[in-house]
Amino acid sequence: MLEVLSGLLIACGIFLFASGTLGLLRLPDFYCRMHATGKCDTLGASLALIGCALYNGFSLVSLKILFIVLFIFLANPTATHAIGRAALVNQVFPWTRGPSPAGSNFGKEREEE
Amino acid sequence: MIVQYENIIIKTISRILIPFIQIYALYVIMHGHYSPGGGFQGGVILGASFILLVLAFGAEASQKRISLKKLTVLASLGLLIFSGIGLVALLMGGNYLDYGKLPLPLESIPKIRAMGILGIEIGVGIGVMAIMITIFLAIASYETEGKND
Protein backbone atom coordinates (compact mmCIF):
# COMPACT_ATOMS: atom_id res chain seq x y z
CA MET A 1 0.00 0.00 0.00
CA LEU A 2 2.71 2.46 1.04
CA GLU A 3 4.85 1.44 -1.93
CA VAL A 4 1.97 2.06 -4.34
CA LEU A 5 1.33 5.47 -2.79
CA SER A 6 5.00 6.48 -2.96
CA GLY A 7 5.24 5.25 -6.57
CA LEU A 8 2.17 7.30 -7.45
CA LEU A 9 3.69 10.42 -5.85
CA ILE A 10 7.01 9.94 -7.67
CA ALA A 11 5.15 9.42 -10.97
CA CYS A 12 3.21 12.66 -10.42
CA GLY A 13 6.48 14.48 -9.65
CA ILE A 14 8.11 13.15 -12.81
CA PHE A 15 5.07 14.17 -14.87
CA LEU A 16 5.34 17.72 -13.49
CA PHE A 17 9.08 17.81 -14.23
CA ALA A 18 8.41 16.63 -17.78
CA SER A 19 5.75 19.27 -18.40
CA GLY A 20 8.00 21.97 -16.92
CA THR A 21 10.83 20.92 -19.21
CA LEU A 22 8.47 20.90 -22.19
CA GLY A 23 7.49 24.47 -21.29
CA LEU A 24 11.14 25.46 -20.96
CA LEU A 25 11.87 24.15 -24.45
CA ARG A 26 8.74 25.29 -26.27
CA LEU A 27 7.57 28.61 -24.78
CA PRO A 28 8.64 31.78 -26.60
CA ASP A 29 10.43 34.08 -24.14
CA PHE A 30 12.12 34.42 -20.78
CA TYR A 31 9.07 35.21 -18.65
CA CYS A 32 6.95 32.38 -20.08
CA ARG A 33 9.75 29.88 -19.61
CA MET A 34 10.23 30.91 -16.02
CA HIS A 35 6.48 30.70 -15.50
CA ALA A 36 6.66 27.07 -16.64
CA THR A 37 9.76 25.95 -14.75
CA GLY A 38 9.31 27.86 -11.50
CA LYS A 39 6.06 26.23 -10.44
CA CYS A 40 6.48 22.81 -12.05
CA ASP A 41 9.92 22.23 -10.59
CA THR A 42 8.88 23.25 -7.08
CA LEU A 43 5.88 20.93 -6.93
CA GLY A 44 7.57 18.17 -8.96
CA ALA A 45 10.62 18.04 -6.72
CA SER A 46 8.44 18.20 -3.60
CA LEU A 47 6.21 15.32 -4.74
CA ALA A 48 9.12 13.13 -5.87
CA LEU A 49 10.99 13.68 -2.60
CA ILE A 50 7.89 13.08 -0.45
CA GLY A 51 7.42 9.83 -2.37
CA CYS A 52 11.01 8.85 -1.59
CA ALA A 53 10.48 9.70 2.09
CA LEU A 54 7.31 7.56 2.24
CA TYR A 55 9.08 4.64 0.59
CA ASN A 56 11.97 4.92 3.03
CA GLY A 57 9.69 4.71 6.06
CA PHE A 58 9.96 6.48 9.41
CA SER A 59 13.67 7.24 9.89
CA LEU A 60 16.27 9.99 10.10
CA VAL A 61 16.84 9.88 6.34
CA SER A 62 13.14 10.60 5.76
CA LEU A 63 13.37 13.57 8.10
CA LYS A 64 16.33 14.94 6.13
CA ILE A 65 14.42 14.47 2.86
CA LEU A 66 11.47 16.39 4.34
CA PHE A 67 13.84 19.21 5.32
CA ILE A 68 15.03 19.34 1.69
CA VAL A 69 11.37 19.55 0.59
CA LEU A 70 10.80 22.46 2.98
CA PHE A 71 13.92 24.22 1.72
CA ILE A 72 12.92 23.83 -1.93
CA PHE A 73 9.40 24.96 -1.10
CA LEU A 74 10.77 28.21 0.39
CA ALA A 75 13.77 28.88 -1.83
CA ASN A 76 12.65 27.98 -5.35
CA PRO A 77 9.69 30.41 -5.64
CA THR A 78 11.80 33.14 -4.05
CA ALA A 79 14.62 32.59 -6.52
CA THR A 80 12.13 32.61 -9.41
CA HIS A 81 10.67 35.86 -8.11
CA ALA A 82 14.14 37.42 -7.77
CA ILE A 83 15.22 36.41 -11.29
CA GLY A 84 11.98 37.65 -12.85
CA ARG A 85 12.23 40.95 -11.04
CA ALA A 86 15.86 41.39 -12.04
CA ALA A 87 14.88 40.76 -15.68
CA LEU A 88 12.09 43.34 -15.45
CA VAL A 89 14.40 45.94 -13.90
CA ASN A 90 17.06 45.29 -16.53
CA GLN A 91 14.53 45.77 -19.38
CA VAL A 92 14.19 42.27 -20.74
CA PHE A 93 11.52 42.60 -23.41
CA PRO A 94 8.41 40.35 -23.12
CA TRP A 95 7.35 38.44 -26.23
CA THR A 96 4.37 39.66 -28.26
CA ARG A 97 2.89 38.34 -31.46
CA GLY A 98 4.04 40.40 -34.42
CA PRO A 99 5.55 43.90 -34.24
CA SER A 100 4.54 45.43 -30.92
CA PRO A 101 3.37 49.07 -30.63
CA ALA A 102 3.76 49.13 -26.86
CA GLY A 103 7.07 47.34 -27.02
CA SER A 104 9.04 50.28 -28.37
CA ASN A 105 8.33 52.24 -25.20
CA PHE A 106 9.19 49.45 -22.82
CA GLY A 107 12.94 49.90 -22.66
CA LYS A 108 13.15 53.58 -23.48
CA GLU A 109 11.01 54.94 -20.66
CA ARG A 110 13.15 53.19 -18.14
CA GLU A 111 16.36 54.32 -19.74
CA GLU A 112 15.32 57.94 -19.39
CA GLU A 113 14.60 57.62 -15.68
CA MET B 1 28.29 48.71 -5.02
CA ILE B 2 25.25 46.55 -5.61
CA VAL B 3 22.16 48.58 -6.50
CA GLN B 4 19.53 48.01 -3.85
CA TYR B 5 15.92 47.38 -4.86
CA GLU B 6 13.57 47.19 -1.90
CA ASN B 7 11.91 43.78 -1.93
CA ILE B 8 10.06 42.44 1.07
CA ILE B 9 9.76 38.86 -0.24
CA ILE B 10 13.47 38.28 -0.73
CA LYS B 11 14.34 39.99 2.55
CA THR B 12 11.89 37.90 4.59
CA ILE B 13 12.86 34.57 3.02
CA SER B 14 16.55 35.37 3.44
CA ARG B 15 16.01 36.22 7.08
CA ILE B 16 14.27 32.87 7.58
CA LEU B 17 16.74 30.75 5.60
CA ILE B 18 20.16 32.19 6.48
CA PRO B 19 20.38 30.70 10.04
CA PHE B 20 19.47 27.24 8.74
CA ILE B 21 22.01 27.49 5.91
CA GLN B 22 24.67 28.34 8.48
CA ILE B 23 23.68 25.45 10.77
CA TYR B 24 23.87 23.11 7.76
CA ALA B 25 27.32 24.49 6.92
CA LEU B 26 28.52 23.74 10.47
CA TYR B 27 27.07 20.21 10.15
CA VAL B 28 28.97 19.68 6.89
CA ILE B 29 32.22 20.90 8.49
CA MET B 30 31.80 18.73 11.59
CA HIS B 31 30.91 15.56 9.67
CA GLY B 32 33.74 15.95 7.20
CA HIS B 33 35.77 12.97 8.36
CA TYR B 34 33.08 10.30 8.06
CA SER B 35 30.58 11.54 5.50
CA PRO B 36 30.69 13.57 2.30
CA GLY B 37 31.67 17.14 2.99
CA GLY B 38 34.45 18.75 4.94
CA GLY B 39 36.12 22.05 5.54
CA PHE B 40 36.10 23.39 2.01
CA GLN B 41 32.48 22.51 1.22
CA GLY B 42 31.20 23.73 4.59
CA GLY B 43 33.17 26.95 4.20
CA VAL B 44 31.67 27.54 0.78
CA ILE B 45 28.13 27.03 2.15
CA LEU B 46 28.89 29.38 5.05
CA GLY B 47 30.25 31.98 2.62
CA ALA B 48 27.18 31.56 0.39
CA SER B 49 24.92 32.39 3.34
CA PHE B 50 26.73 35.70 3.82
CA ILE B 51 26.61 36.37 0.07
CA LEU B 52 22.83 35.85 0.27
CA LEU B 53 22.76 38.38 3.11
CA VAL B 54 24.63 40.95 0.98
CA LEU B 55 22.37 40.24 -2.04
CA ALA B 56 19.17 40.63 -0.04
CA PHE B 57 20.04 43.57 2.22
CA GLY B 58 22.70 45.46 0.26
CA ALA B 59 26.38 45.90 0.95
CA GLU B 60 26.04 48.96 3.19
CA ALA B 61 23.40 47.42 5.45
CA SER B 62 25.41 44.23 5.97
CA GLN B 63 28.64 46.13 6.60
CA LYS B 64 27.92 45.81 10.35
CA ARG B 65 28.14 42.00 10.26
CA ILE B 66 30.85 41.50 7.66
CA SER B 67 33.42 44.17 6.88
CA LEU B 68 36.55 43.73 4.78
CA LYS B 69 38.75 44.24 7.84
CA LYS B 70 37.04 41.40 9.74
CA LEU B 71 37.22 39.17 6.66
CA THR B 72 40.96 39.73 6.29
CA VAL B 73 41.46 38.83 9.94
CA LEU B 74 39.30 35.69 9.55
CA ALA B 75 41.12 34.52 6.41
CA SER B 76 44.45 34.90 8.20
CA LEU B 77 43.05 33.13 11.27
CA GLY B 78 41.94 30.14 9.20
CA LEU B 79 45.36 29.81 7.61
CA LEU B 80 46.98 30.21 11.04
CA ILE B 81 44.88 27.36 12.50
CA PHE B 82 45.71 25.10 9.56
CA SER B 83 49.43 25.74 9.48
CA GLY B 84 49.63 26.02 13.28
CA ILE B 85 48.30 22.48 13.79
CA GLY B 86 50.75 21.22 11.18
CA LEU B 87 53.65 23.03 12.85
CA VAL B 88 52.70 21.76 16.33
CA ALA B 89 52.82 18.22 14.97
CA LEU B 90 56.23 19.02 13.47
CA LEU B 91 57.47 20.39 16.82
CA MET B 92 56.27 17.29 18.69
CA GLY B 93 58.51 15.08 16.57
CA GLY B 94 56.21 13.95 13.76
CA ASN B 95 55.88 14.95 10.15
CA TYR B 96 54.02 18.09 9.04
CA LEU B 97 50.27 17.52 9.70
CA ASP B 98 50.98 14.22 11.49
CA TYR B 99 47.87 14.30 13.71
CA GLY B 100 48.88 11.36 15.90
CA LYS B 101 51.68 13.36 17.52
CA LEU B 102 49.48 16.24 18.72
CA PRO B 103 49.65 16.91 22.50
CA LEU B 104 45.95 16.38 23.27
CA PRO B 105 44.67 14.85 26.55
CA LEU B 106 42.92 11.89 24.90
CA GLU B 107 43.51 8.20 25.61
CA SER B 108 44.02 6.70 22.14
CA ILE B 109 45.79 7.77 18.96
CA PRO B 110 42.71 7.41 16.66
CA LYS B 111 40.78 9.88 18.85
CA ILE B 112 43.69 12.34 18.70
CA ARG B 113 43.77 11.95 14.92
CA ALA B 114 40.00 12.63 14.69
CA MET B 115 40.34 15.81 16.76
CA GLY B 116 43.33 16.96 14.69
CA ILE B 117 41.42 16.52 11.43
CA LEU B 118 38.47 18.41 12.95
CA GLY B 119 40.78 21.30 13.83
CA ILE B 120 42.20 21.36 10.32
CA GLU B 121 38.71 21.41 8.84
CA ILE B 122 37.59 24.26 11.09
CA GLY B 123 40.61 26.25 9.94
CA VAL B 124 39.95 25.48 6.27
CA GLY B 125 36.26 26.36 6.71
CA ILE B 126 36.98 29.77 8.26
CA GLY B 127 39.57 30.59 5.60
CA VAL B 128 37.43 29.50 2.64
CA MET B 129 34.41 31.42 3.97
CA ALA B 130 36.38 34.66 4.38
CA ILE B 131 38.05 34.36 0.97
CA MET B 132 34.74 33.58 -0.78
CA ILE B 133 33.04 36.68 0.66
CA THR B 134 36.11 38.83 -0.05
CA ILE B 135 36.15 37.78 -3.72
CA PHE B 136 32.40 38.40 -4.01
CA LEU B 137 32.64 41.86 -2.43
CA ALA B 138 35.64 42.76 -4.58
CA ILE B 139 33.82 41.80 -7.80
CA ALA B 140 30.57 43.49 -6.70
CA SER B 141 32.20 46.79 -5.74
CA TYR B 142 34.60 47.01 -8.70
CA GLU B 143 32.53 49.38 -10.84
CA THR B 144 31.82 52.13 -8.31
CA GLU B 145 35.31 52.05 -6.87
CA GLY B 146 36.73 52.62 -10.35
CA LYS B 147 34.53 55.70 -10.77
CA ASN B 148 35.55 57.18 -7.42
CA ASP B 149 39.27 56.93 -8.08
Task: Report pLDDT digits (tens) over A29-41.
Answer: 889 999 999 999 9
Give the span between the Cα atoms of A11 and A4, in whole angstroms.
Answer: 10
Tell how far CA B99 is from the center of its chain. Answer: 22
Give the span between the Cα atoms of A56 and A48, in whole angstroms.
Answer: 12
Whether the predicted pLDDT of A10 surpasses 90: yes
Question: Does residue B53 contact residue B14 with C-beta atoms inside 8 Å?
Answer: yes
Domain annotation covers residue B92: yes
**Mean pLDDT (whole number) for A37-53:** 93
Residues in chain A with CB shorter than 8 Å from the CB of B49 are none
State the total domains in chain A: 1
Report CA torsion sign: A68, A74, A75, A80: positive
State the total domains in chain B: 1
Whether the predicted pLDDT of A5 surpasses 90: yes
Domain annotation covers residue B2: no
Give the span between the Cα atoms of B100 and B90, in whole angstroms.
Answer: 11
Contact (CB<8Å) A81/B10 = yes
* Residue A83: closest C-alpha in chain B: B10
Range of the domain at B36: 8-148
- Output the pTM of the full model: 0.79
pLDDT for position A112 = 45
Residues present in chain A in total = 113
Domain annotation covers residue B71: yes
Nearest to A10 by CA among A50, A49, A48: A48
Range of the domain at A46: 2-94+102-112
Shortest CB distance from A74 goes to which of B5, B7, B17?
B17
Query: Which of B2, B4, B8, B9 should we substitute to test contact with A (largest number of A Cβ atoms within 10 Å)?
Result: B9
Give the span between the Cα atoms of A81 and B32, in whole angstroms.
Answer: 34
Domain annotation covers residue B1: no
A19 or B55, greater pLDDT: A19
